Structures are given as C-alpha cells and as structure tokens.
Structure 1
Amino acid sequence: MKTKKNQKLKAFHKNMIKGMLLLIMLITLTLISCDSEVDTDLNGVIDPCENEHFFGLNIYDPWSGSTPLSKNVDLGTSDEIAASLGGSVTYSNASTYNYDLEIYHFFNTANKKIINIDGTPPATFVTLIGEVTSIYSHLVYVSSLAKNYIIEKESGGTVNLVEVDVNTGVLGATIATDFSEEINSISVTTNNINEVYIIINKTLIKLMNLDSVPTVSLFSLEAPSTNYLFFGAEYNSLSGGINVIRTQGVETIHLVKIDLGGDYTLMHDLTTVIENEISLTNHFYSTTLNCEETQYRIAYLYGNNNTRFHEITLSTGLVETDTKEADYYFGIESNANN
C-alpha cells in the first residue's frame, strides 16, 4: 500500500512540476509577444532595441481621406482601423509614439481628430477641443513628463506649444513661442526629458524647462539662400543634436545635424535620393530614427498614391530604398524612439 501511495505521490509531484513549467513558458511567451523591452536573445540584459518595429498608417487616397484607413508594422501587413480618415491627410508627420505605454498617436488637422492605437482593436478617434480660430498640427510625447503636447497656430499667427490629453481631446497649459511667420515647413521633436524643439522654415524654436517654468529661445538657421527649408526633425541623443533634411528647392537636398545652439553641419547629400521634393513642401512625408539612433528613416508620397521609403545610415550615408505601390504610408514611428 505504501508503495502505491508513494508512486501516486511521485506522479502527482511530477505532473505538478510539468504544469508549473508550462505556466512559466506561457507567461514568458506572452511577455515576448506584448512587450518591446524583453530579453529576446536571452543574454540576461533587457534591451529595448531587441524587438524593434516601426509603426504607421496607410491609406489609398490621402487627398480626400475617404478610402479605408489602416495601421501597419514595418510597412508590412495592414489592418483596417476605420472606413476612412474623415478628411485629407494634412500633415503626414503629425504622429508620436508613447513607448512607455506602447501607444501610437496621430493627429489630423483637417478634422481635428486624434487617432490612438494601443494594439487592441479598434483604434479610438478623439476630437480635439481647441480654439475654433486656431490651427492645430503636430503631436509630441515627452517621456520623462508622461505628457503629450500639440502645436497650435493662433489666428494672429503666433505659434504655441499646448499640453493635450490625447484620451479626451482637452487642452492644458499653453507655452507661447513668439514665432509668427508664415509656415512653409514644420516638424517637432524632443529630448524626452524636459525640452521640445520645433523647426519652422529655417528657425529652431527651443522650448526648455517644461518640468518647471518653461523658457523659449529662437535660433535662426543661417543659410546663404533665402529658399532653404528644413524638414523632418529627429532629436538624436547619441550626438546631442537634431537630424533633419535641408532643401533648396529641387537643386540640393541634404541630411544635416543641427546642434541645440542653432549651428548645423552637412552630413549627406540626398539630392539624387529623394526624387519627389514636392512631397516635402506639401507635407506628404514622415520621418523617424531607429531605436539605436544610427539610421534616419523617411517615407514620402511618390506619384499619386505610392510611397517611397529610404533608410539612411548616419555614419556612412548608405541608403536603402523601398517602394510601396497603390498605398500611401505616413506617420511612421519607431516603437522605441518617438
């Protein structure tokens, strides 16, 4: 009798151990599938870049926004999230990514809608509750403050940075920049600590101390030509500067690095790479850095509704190019770098 009992007890313990191991494996797989910050190469170090992806939206007709709107990962398989955008794509680079909560946000100026995507369908569309006479455009998420901001241009022309609750559309504190020129190019980025950088035309607007008493400084990006413009600002923590594209019409297009005092240096000539400069000036483009901040990525409208995508290695200028036909991909963001 004791032998049989012992055998049953051993079998029970064995099955229990198997069950615990299966549970541990299930939990591990769940974490790997849901979290971008996991030890995917099992070297004992959690690296947010080990499971990097970049996200975005795509639509067949960006001009009217009336065709189905989809989300995508790495310019790959698309999942429809809405029957339409509800308005034309106004600023393709008006997105940001909250990598703390793993939530993607995009704002569309035409219908004042904030699109929030957290991986759980469906996406939510939130109407911005702002001043009727103001124009709102670009979102930016500042990680250490856990806050989102949006750019506002008042009817009088003054540009402000305004705190926004992306879940309700309610605006908060406003920081005036004293910039009031006509906008021909605009982009925004952050150091994810307490500063936001807006580049409009050829002016760098530096908003500092957002965690206390905000201050603002404006720097003219000196250029020998009056028709230089700057597009696609991306703060790079490795260099402590801003990677951005500088154009002079279709004649010269360069990737440059701007330091936070307003000086900049040319990095790589992209004149023969970017084949549709008009997409930049019409705001049909979006940019992001990869997680390691070693590559600059740009997607832009090519033709009526195709997308040209370039991945530029910052150290060498090496360019990899891809084209997506019959769909416009925009609002690209890395899941580990907003």
Structure 2
Amino acid sequence: MARLVFLAALAVLLPVAVFGAQCAQSEESMCVFTCNGTMFNLTDVFKYPVTIADDSRGYNYEWNPCEYQACKDEIEPGEDCAICQKADRYYNCGHIQQAVFLMQQYTPFMWKIQYLWGTDWRMTEFTFLVDKNRDIPTVTFTGEDPYLQYNFFVTGKCIGQPYCNYGVAAQMGVVNANMMTFAALFLLAISICLSSAEQCLPKTGNPCKFDCNGTEFDISHVFDYPYNIDNNFMWCPCKGCICEYSKGPKAAVCQSGSNAGQLQDPVFILERTDPYLFTIEYTSGLSYRISIFTFIVSEDYPKPNIVFAGGSNPILQYNFQVTGKCLGQPDCKTKGPNPFH
C-alpha cells in the first residue's frame, strides 16, 4: 500500500519536475549522454543506421549515433561519421566523437545533439522533442539552414529520455524491469526533493534579465559592460558585441575577435536558491563555440569577481565563474551604470 501511495505521489510530481543540467557524451557509449547523473540513451530509439530522405532534393542521409560508420567520402573517408549525406557524392556531415548535447527544456523534454567537423565544415543538428501522443518515434529532415548545417527533428513518446527507453523490459524481463522502474522513480523522487533547478526565460528586449516563474534575475549592473576577461574574452550580455573576425548575429562573448556565443536565446538555469547558484549559456558561436557562466552567490566576495575557468572541455566550450555577494539575484541588485541608458 505504501508503495502505491509513493508511486501515486510521483505521478503528480513528475510532470512538473524541472532540472538544469550540462550534459556530456559517455565514454562507454557514444549514443549515451549524462546530465548530472541523469542518463539520456538513444540506443533503442531506432534500428541503426537510419536512412532519412530529403525529398525536395532527392538526397538521403544515414545516421548512426551509437557506432562508428564509414562514409564513402572522397575528402573525409574516415570511419567516425555520425551522419553521411548521399548527394552528388558522399559527404561526411558530422563526426560521432565529441557530439554536443544541449538541453533546451525539461517539461516536456527537449534537447539538441550537434555533430561537428564534417566535410568542408559541414555539421548536423538533431532536435528531440518528447510527444506522449506519438507511440512510434519519427525522424525527419527539416532543411539546410544556415549553409552546410543539416537539421533534423526527432519526436515520439520514448526517444531516449530518462526512464522511457525502448527494449529495456524485453532485455530484462517484466519483473526485473518493474523493479528497475521502481528504483529509478525512487531516485528521481530524491532528486526532486533535493533539487530546485529550473530553466528561466530571458525578458524581451533585455537579455540581461531573466524570469523564473515570476522571480526576476538581473545581471545588468553586476559589471560595467562590455567586460574584459583574462585579456582574451569580451563579455557583452546586455547589448551584445560585434566581434572583429565574425560576421552575423551579435555576440554575447568575443574570444580573441571571434564569436564565442551569440547574444540571442541565452539559456538560464537556476540550480539552487540557498545560496543562489545559476548558469547562463551562450551557444551557436563561430564553429559552434559555447560560453557558460556559473554564478555563485557568496558573502565572502563583497565585490563581484569573474575568472576564466578553462576551455575546450568539451571542445570549443569556454567556462567562466562569477562570485560575489550581489550577482543579480532577487532583492540584491548591485549599483552601477545601466547599459540601456
């Protein structure tokens, strides 16, 4: 009886649970990604390799996120191709190693996987969106935009998100599968109790302000922007910068003159509230550079401080740590020049 009550409580909690995470490709399996201990597994979503048609041009794509596959590419003939385009000839559209996993939202689950460094800088982006009304997963080609970026959309009830993985019950048997499901739900319930993480939305017209279910975070006055970091990075979170060597959208971060993360669509994740800890991610920079800022509220730092915490882990990701007493959290806004005046 207690177990039924516990599961009933979980049924109420799970639809509204929200998590913030930065995810990494597993060393054991290239189609498994781990987000702060939570696993996303593409192994049983499709029978790989999957052939995907581009009917508008008569091209085909072969995708295998789990195993090395060869692409008969005259320029990139290696066997580490995640997706191979069959057009006038074969093209490697992204390597399987060091795939980039980007969480977009958690209710329902939505994420992206990017495969980089294909032939002549080709890259591929898959967008995954859980749809409980689609029992059978589907994958479709949605277009080439921008040039040499190939975009696909995966949707379905079970597309690799936690605790919803095809093939598990068949491999383990009904009893063992039920035991595993109960254990997984128990661990998830603990995570819900311990985590207050949520994804917050940038406010229209001011990408330095974020709304977390009615609670506002405002980093407009934390520093005097644009702010130079480590003599190598320029941070412009409110109005953006034009990087010397990059054309196109404004950057939130310039790295030695190159766009290291676009100003538009920053991802704000509130990790905890006591003390406050949150991250802001700027994505889609030059060659898909990413910059991640981690904010840690601490009474030990009356004046805000920022340091470069390392880069290229994973490849082309730049990490920064911001500490201070007032970092834009509610009821503690620093004084300073307003970049919008």
TM over 0.5: no
| Structure ID, larger Rg | 1
- The TM-score, its normalising length taken from structure 2, stands at 0.34
More strand by share: 1
- The TM-score, its normalising length taken from structure 1, stands at 0.34
Higher relative contact order (CA 8 A, sep 6+): 1
